[in-house]
Amino acid sequence: MSLAVEQLRHYQDHGFVIVEGLLTPDDLQPAIDEIGAHVGVLADALYDAGRIPETYAGLGFFERLAAIERAHSTAAVMFHVSGLLGRGIASLWSSPKLLTVVEQLIGPDIAGHPVCNVRSKTPQTELMTVPWHQDTAYLLPGAEGTHQPAAWIPFLDVTAETGCMQVKRGGHRAGVFTHEIERDVANPKSWYLYIPEGDLAAYETVTCEMALGSALFINQLTPHRSLENYSDKVRWSVDLRWQRPGEPAGWEGYLDLMEMRRGDDPAFRPDWNGFFAQRAKAFEGFRNLDENSFDISVEGPWIDRWR
């Protein structure tokens, strides 16, 4: 599916566009299976350490992590900062359906940006509720001029109650906003940046309620946030990003781009093995896991940039 002219113009003018019906359940299932298996690994580790009374193996994809978290309060945070990205998620990230849209935005040469996230948004968990920010603020200075569209993809229907996304219409035209570090103000364990709401008052807030199979494409300069999840289910989602190869990524010295498509070489195939190995090594440096307490803290280049 390609973007219609009106959709492409909406993305360019407003900094985002929701593409409905882009993906099927079969497109999403490999990523869901991978995430579910990783929840099982976390459950086994916490159970073996005596941190939870059972592994909750009988619960479904949208219930299990929430039950684990009720028994161990940092479980969702532990899952998020693990940096999960295997072949199931990679198959979605590099799917022709997504790359066809991305090609319309940045051209035929496409690289995956190394900052990709699985969002384990459990019910009413403060550290899973992301404040107003721009994606580019989490990168090293100098990458602001690189067009880095992201696709935010939920694995269930999302509403304001379940913690959908909100965006600031047209905010991408303002350049980079000043960000502050949330943990220095409100939560010593937070790794999030935030834009003070008063700085965004001139921009309309759009609540992005979406059906399963939809994708929200967003410019890296568009301010956005997630709402609190007030449902009884885990609002699972992924955000996947791309850019043109050879342009500043803002992650130099940490992770390389993942080249996915060369417009002049239809036979090109991505080197997933090399990317997975590099990512696994890099993420060990971004988290500090105390194996005795299972407490989690996160460090990254954005902390020094905005401190």
pLDDT number for residue 279: 80
pLDDT number for residue 185: 59
pLDDT number for residue 88: 95
The two three-digit tokens of residue 147, written as one number: 């067009």
Spell out the alpha helix ranges (H) of 15-86: 25-48, 64-71, 75-81
Mean pLDDT of the chain: 91
pLDDT number for residue 78: 87
The two three-digit tokens of residue 160, written as one number: 């304001």
Q: Which residue has the tokens 């360019």?
A: 12
pLDDT number for residue 219: 98
Low-confidence residues in the chain, pLDDT < 70: 184-188, 283-297
Helix (H) or strand (E) holding 284: helix 272-284
Q: Is the dihedral of CA 12, 17, 27, 241 positive or negative?
A: positive
- Nearby residues of 106 by Cβ (< 8 Å), 6 or more positions away: 147, 149, 242, 243, 244
CA distance 273 to 267: 18
pLDDT number for residue 83: 75
pLDDT number for residue 281: 76
Selection from 19, 26, 45, 83 nearest residue 292 by Cα: 45
Q: What is the pLDDT of residues 239-271, one digit of tens each?
A: 999 999 999 999 988 889 999 999 889 899 999
pLDDT number for residue 296: 67
pLDDT number for residue 297: 66
CA distance 283 to 115: 11
The type of residue at 62 is F
pLDDT number for residue 186: 57
pLDDT number for residue 101: 98
